Amino acid sequence: MRTSFTALLTLLAFKSIAQGLIFDNTSFDKREELELTRATLPTRYSLKEYTPALIYPQSISDCVAHAFGMARTVTIAKNLKITDRTKISLLLTSPWHMYYRLSSSADQNCSLGLNIEKAAESALNDGFVMLSNVEYPNYYPFSSSILCKSVSRGFYPPSIYDDNDNARKLAFDKVYAIRTIDQLKQALAQGMPVVVGLMIPKSFESCKSSTFTLSSYDKQNLIYGHAMLVIGYNDLLNGGSLEILNSWGDQWGASGFTNIRYVDFLATVGAAYACYDAPTYNQENSIESFSTDVSKEEIAQKANRIFQQLDERNNDFNNSNIIRLFDSNIK
């Protein structure tokens, strides 16, 4: 299917600012796109085995930061051939690091979201910091204290300068524009997760299954923009579907995932970015190289401390399902 996203981008121009996501059609149109090859693609492909056990709901309008950060986690895990979801959880990146740097000064309540083009450029040039270096151990999802809500919008942990320096080591090598289903499938088959910005209907919020289908009413009532991560495709599922990882926690969809038909995806997509990480890591590299600069033993100790602190806070933390998921995989 070579249907282009261009037509929908034009339709979305009047809705450029949306909940959690700001589209930038002009800049997206100028971005280098992924070049199609003659290679025959498999009928299905998925990067799901490289996703983490901890899938927690976003606490502010940072879906764009979540999506690009999750793409980074997936690419690191894939290049290191890590499929243990416990270890992959330690590779989660900090959404606050990106949101803090890119959000508007007028966004005092962290409700306006991010420009997805600026986020793509940041993912390429500025990079990422691990969740364990920013949110851990004092802020959500490790406690009920939410950065921006529980503390001042201008607050960032004291590690900001070190974080900015270290983040560049984890920048993507390429971030391509994706404009067709064929390009999207090729990106996935080549190991590139794809960050997408969709206009979604209200019914999407209550999805509780492994497949979401747009109704005719939904198509006429796309109410706001939302960024997610495409991690797979299947030409044989419902006439062709994309596998999506959301940032609304494991109680949404099927444990945080759902499938969207190609035809419904094309009716809602506003932008898509393939995230490429050159496979330069050698097999001697271990997970702590990307989470901290400490030893394996210290990584294990950190994981145990996380478990202990979450266990202690279980009674007063209102997202206990996140704690249970993290406990069962990190302990």
Enumerate domains of the chain plus CATH numbers.
6-279+296-330 (3.90.70.10)
Provide mean pLDDT across the span 257-277: 97
How much is the pLDDT for 142? 85
The lowest-confidence range among 1-5, 26-30, 285-289 is 285-289
Q: Is the pLDDT of residue 15 over 60?
A: no
76 CB contacts (<8 Å, ≥6 apart)? Answer: 82, 91, 170, 277, 281, 290
Q: Is the pLDDT of residue 296 over 50?
A: no
How much is the pLDDT for 279? 77
CA–CA gap between residue 167 and residue 29 (Å, rounded): 27
Which residues are bridge partners to 254 per DSSP? 257
How much is the pLDDT for 13? 36
Let me know: does 110 contact 153? Beta carbons within 8 Å.
Answer: yes
For residue 293, the 8-state DSSP code is S
Which residues are bridge partners to 212 per DSSP? 260
Token code pair at residue 283:
């097999």
Q: Is the pLDDT of residue 84 over 80?
A: yes
Token code pair at residue 270:
């506003």
How much is the pLDDT for 301? 53
The lowest-confidence range among 163-177, 252-266, 307-321 is 307-321
How much is the pLDDT for 35? 96
CA–CA gap between residue 257 and residue 252 (Å, rounded): 7
Phi and psi of 314, rounded to 5°?
-55, -35
How much is the pLDDT for 179? 97
**pLDDT grade for 5, boundaries at 50, 70 and 90:** low
Q: Angle at the Cα of 110 (from 106 to 116), degrees rounded to 5?
A: 85
Amino acid (one-letter) located at 213: T
How much is the pLDDT for 110? 92
Provide mean pLDDT across the span 161-172: 93
For all residues of the chain together, what is the average pLDDT? 84
Provide mean pLDDT across the span 5-32: 67
How much is the pLDDT for 31? 97
CA–CA gap between residue 68 and residue 316 (Å, rounded): 30
CB-based burial, 102-120: b 16+ in 10 Å, e otherwise: bbeeebeebebbbbbbbbb
Largest Cα span, the chain: 56
Whether the link from the prior residue into 157 is cis, omega within 30° of 0, is: no
CA–CA gap between residue 307 and residue 305 (Å, rounded): 5
For residue 170, the 8-state DSSP code is G
Q: Angle at the Cα of 237 (from 235 to 240), degrees rounded to 5?
A: 40
How much is the pLDDT for 292? 42
Distances (CA, A) of 87 to 74, 83, 321: 12, 8, 20
Provide mean pLDDT across the span 156-172: 92
Distances (CA, A) of 160 to 98, 144, 146, 163, 285: 11, 21, 17, 5, 26
**pLDDT grade for 12, boundaries at 50, 70 and 90:** very low
Let me know: does 244 contact 195? Beta carbons within 8 Å.
Answer: no
Let me know: does 58 contact 37? Beta carbons within 8 Å.
Answer: no
Q: Is the pLDDT of residue 211 over 80?
A: yes
Provide mean pLDDT across the span 318-326: 45
